[in-house]
Amino acid sequence: MMVSFFERFFEFQKNAHQAIFSWVSFSFGDLLYILTGIFLLYHGVALFKKRKRHSSLLAVLIGINIFYFLYQIFWGMLYFQVPIIKKLSSQKEPTTEKAKILALEYLEKCKKTRSLVKEDRNGIFIITDLRAVQKEILARQTSLPKNISGKKVPEINSFKPSLFKKVMNFTGILGYYNPFTAEAQYNSQLPNTYIPFTSAHESSHQLGFAREQEANFVGYLIGVDSKNPELRYSTEYFTLKSLLNFIVEEDPEFVKSVLRNYSLPMKRDRAYEKTFVLKHQGVLDDFFGFTNNLFLKSNQQEGSVTYSYFINLLLNYERV
């Protein structure tokens, strides 16, 4: 009953926040984070000054409590929703053999869809109309299976490139949902293969799916049958990579075989992604990976590098 109340409250605040903040051309949520950081920095420094220590400590504690309270009522309680897996008619455990069957299917899908999209001068996939991709994501939200999502779709474009994109390059964070402004943030400097699906993923959070792997699954549902080839390719490619990541420990030779059978354009996309990741690996990447794992596990989720729940949902939905 309590979770149901917060689900209804989320619908209200989501609509209100998107109506208020969607017209702002930049990420208003990021601006709030910057102001919060300045507030904490100011009072953090003041803690070392005897005259201001008490008032600054009080201000920090009050600020943290307000932040935590708003986070919980705007977003945190949604982690206790009924898991999507319980809404599916099939709830079998995922197996490597089933994942292999689907991986081969998505390899062929990726090859076909990759031939329909545009490339830059280096033969790397590019998005020609991001606005059209975003519009398609919003339209596809309305056709999600009713047994999985009965959530209201405001159809308000509140996708925003993050103001922290240069930092995000070094963190492994592709995007995030801001629960205080209902904005779907993405890193605009990512390889284009990431951006459409990342946007679909973050839009799933906007709908009210809090768990990361469930947002992946809803993002998959949004993109996999899309008429927009850029969104469809990004979704199929993410799905294929997720399946291969699930399989690789059990059967690395199978994964190598699939990678060898990528089309040449797909191989170029993969090489570009690898170059981007290697270029930006470092301490920040490790730190944010560690803290993100802690955050996910504190909210009853798998760690950030675990794909099993998404694969579980995928295989049961596809009935492989």
Q: What are the boundaries of each domain within the chain?
A: 80-318
pLDDT for 286 equals: 52
Which one-letter DSSP state was computed for residue 280?
T
What HEC string does 128-161 produce? CCHHHHHHHHHHHHCCCCCCCCCCCCCCCCCEEE
Please tell me the pTM assigned to this model. Answer: 0.88
pLDDT value at residue 8: 83
Question: How much is the pLDDT for 53?
Answer: 86
User: How high is the pLDDT of residue 306?
Assistant: 52
The Cα 152–Cα 138 span in angstroms is 11
pLDDT in the model for residue 288: 41
- 213: which residues sit within 8 A by CB, 6+ positions away? 301, 302, 306, 307, 309, 310, 313
**Which stretches in the chain have pLDDT values below 50?**
284, 287-288, 290-292, 294-301, 303-305
End-to-end CA distance of the chain: 35
pLDDT of 122: 96
